[in-house]
Amino acid sequence: MRSNTGEKWLEQRIRKYGPVSKLSLFGNPSVFIHGQAANKLLGAQNLLELRGDDHKRVRGAMVSFLKAESLKQYVGKMDQEVRLHIQTHWKGKHEVQV
C-alpha cells in the first residue's frame, strides 16, 4: 500500500491469469473479474452502469451503509465473532499455525 503498486499487481495478474480468475483473499476463495468480463457477469444493474434516479438510489443506500455509525456497528459485530472464534478454537493452545 505504501509503495502504491496495487495497479501494477492488477496488471500483472491480468496478464498471467486473464480477466477472470480465482484467488484467495484473507483465506477465502474469491473471484477476480476485470474489464468486459466483469460487465458481462455483473450485468447492467451495477453501480457503474446505472444512471439518473436509479444511480442516486443505489448510491444513497451504499453511502448509508458506509457511514461511520454503521461501520462502528459492523466492527462491533465482527469483533464479537472473532472473539468467539478465538475462545472456541484457540484458547489454551500454546502455538497457533497460520
pLDDT of residue 95: 78
All three cell numbers of 60: 444513497
Q: For all residues of the chain together, what is the average pLDDT?
A: 84
CA atoms 64, 66, 69, 72: torsion sign: positive
pLDDT over 60 (residue 1): no
What single string gives the DSSP state of each residue in the chain? -TT--HHHHHHHHHHHH-SEEEEEETTEEEEEE-THHHHHHH-TTSTTT--HHHHHHHHHHHHHHTSHHHHHHHHHHHHHHHHHHHHHHTTT-S----
All three cell numbers of 44: 447492467
Hey, what amino acid is at 50?
Answer: L
State how far the Cα of 96 lies from the Cα of 40, in Å rounded to an integer. 42
User: For residue 4, what pLDDT band results from cuts at 50, 70 and 90?
Assistant: confident
47 with 39: CB under 8 angstroms?
no
pLDDT over 60 (residue 57): yes
pLDDT of residue 71: 83
Domain locations along the chain: 6-89
